[in-house]
Amino acid sequence: MAVDRIGHAFADQGLLAQALTHRSAGAPHNERLEFLGDGVVNLLVADTLFQRWPKADEGALTRARAELVREASLAAIARELQLGERLTMGPGEMKSGGHRRDSILADALEAVVAAIYIDAGFEACRTVVMPWFEASLAALPVGRPEKDAKTRLQEWLQGRQRPLPVYELVSESGDDHAKLFLARCTTLDPPLTADGEGTSRRNAEQVAAAALLDKLDISK
């Protein structure tokens, strides 16, 4: 069961039930818990990185935290905990595969973190939650986590005193709960264009930047 995988015995089972209830199923749902959990996760990860990497600068710590708490990373943890199978959702959301969607899984994970925090306090929450991130923490280059694609592209251009890339939203498609964004990244020098798709505009821009970086590698 997912509860066993979570590793916390809830004194208040209602908190867990709320954390695993999507808004499509009606109130009480997990959006307020998600808000709190987002802050708790960021603090837990930031504190862990700060303690583990005493020589890392602010930029390295910020990039590492961003990698660990990004939507895809949180969704991967939610899948390991089998949260998708436990989600309570409305019929339409369930039919559309919402229990497999990264955004919904990441939100549910944050809500579960908040539920643990409310149920047992900060230190107990840390004890339960941080082992979920251990594999991802171990995979990061200590003190020098890889920068995201947009940052790498910007620094590559700046280092050669060339104009910064331009991003534009090409299109949006899908229902409100399952939108797909198409973004375009363009550079003037060299003149290149690449597109990327994602579940948010930011994700789509990152995919487009990564695709353009691939083209730069090919052109070398």
> Which residues define the annotated binding site for Mg(2+)?
34, 107, 110
Task: List the catalytic residue out of 67, 110, 119, 205.
Answer: 110
Packing angle, helices 201-219 and 149-158, rounded to 10: 50
Structure tokens at 205: 């821009």
Phi then psi for residue 195, to 5 deg, are: -110, 160
Alpha carbon distance 104, 86 (integer Å) = 12
DSSP 12-38: -HHHHHHHTB-GGG-SS-SHHHHHHHH
Query: Does the active-site annotation cover 38?
Result: yes
Q: How many CB atoms lie within 10 A of CB 46?
A: 16
Query: Does the active-site annotation cover 110?
Result: yes
In 3D space, the residue among 125, 81, 137 whose CA is nearest the CA of residue 105 turns out to be 81
Alpha carbon distance 29, 94 (integer Å) = 15
Return the amino acid letter for 166. Answer: V
Is the CB of residue 142 less than 8 Å from the CB of residue 51? Answer: no
Q: How many CB atoms lie within 10 A of CB 85?
A: 11
Give the residue numbers annotated as catalytic, written as ranges. 38, 110
